A = this chain, B = another copy of it.
């Protein structure tokens, strides 16, 4: 299965790069900074066709084109985000990812995050028992505490100091705001950031969570409850030591 998915991702990336050279049609979704382009929709349709040809019984949970209500917990579900970081895609023509995840009866099997313009593919999960950076297997990053590393942050959470975001940031070595969940997951998997505090939809975290699970890095909601895969929700992920440190804020121990 993984060979097919990787081939779809590379073909989707070529379509995205072609789209960058043409006039983008940009529409707003929920507000002036929540954008979708013709390329997001076309690439999602491309991925949906490939998935259906590969497994006609699979269900699909995706950001665009009305696929955002599929339940994760029954049968094989592909979770897809054709362009994660659409605002970066439109404004920067870089710093965006393609993300695909495969769940079976709610259990994560394979996750894929592809940084298109840097040509960096991170993929793996329980089905293969490993995580890869391109063709090279990677090991779990060092189990650093919150005070020992950089942490990815959502700007609105940080500004409003929701879920102790500012205390968490101040305890870390510094915050980074990249505008692309996929890049934040890549940074955690590589070990260049020790955590990520945000508000995410299922297609934002589905692929990254599978790879983090494989590497022994937890992710959960504000009260340590499992992520629901049903709505946009508070998300924390990181090294085990960082997650313990952050949980202490949420228990009011700081």
Total A residues in contact with B, Cβ cutoff 8 Å: 26
Closest B-chain residue to A165, C-beta based? B159
Q: Answer whether residue A74 sits at the interface, using C-beta atoms and an 8 A cutoff.
A: no
Cβ of A33 under 8 Å from chain B: yes
Q: Would you list which residues of chain A between 152 and 197 have a CB under 8 Å from chain B?
A: 153, 155, 158-159, 166, 169, 173-179, 187, 192-193
Q: Interface with B: A13-21, A60-68, A90-98, A231-239, which one?
A: A90-98
A174: chain B residues within 8 A (beta carbon): 33, 87, 155, 179
Contact assessment for B94 and A192 in the assembled complex, using a CB-CB cutoff below 8 Å: yes
Q: Is A211 an interface residue (CB 8 A)?
A: no
Inter-subunit contact B192/A150 (CB<8 Å): no
Q: How far is the CB of A23 from chain B (nearest CB, A)?
A: 15
The answer to whether A176 and B178 touch across the interface, beta carbons within 8 angstroms, is yes
Which residues of chain B have C-beta atoms less than 8 A from A155's C-beta? 158, 169, 174-175
Q: Does A221 contact B (CB under 8 A)?
A: no
Closest Cβ–Cβ distance, residue A84 to chain B (whole Å): 14
Also in contact, A87 and B173, with CB within 8 A (given A92-B187, A92-B192, A192-B92): yes
Known contacts A174-B33, A176-B177, A178-B176; decide if A159 and B169 are in contact (CB<8 Å). yes
A16 to B213, CA, bound (A): 34
A150 contacts which of B92, B169, B175, B176 (Cβ < 8 Å)? B92
| Nearest 4 Cβ contacts at the A-B interface | A92-B192, A177-B177, A91-B150, A155-B175
CB<8 Å pairs between A and B, sample of 20 = A32-B173, A33-B173, A33-B174, A87-B150, A87-B173, A87-B174, A91-B173, A91-B193, A92-B187, A92-B192, A93-B192, A150-B179, A155-B158, A155-B169, A155-B174, A155-B175, A159-B166, A175-B177, A176-B177, A176-B179
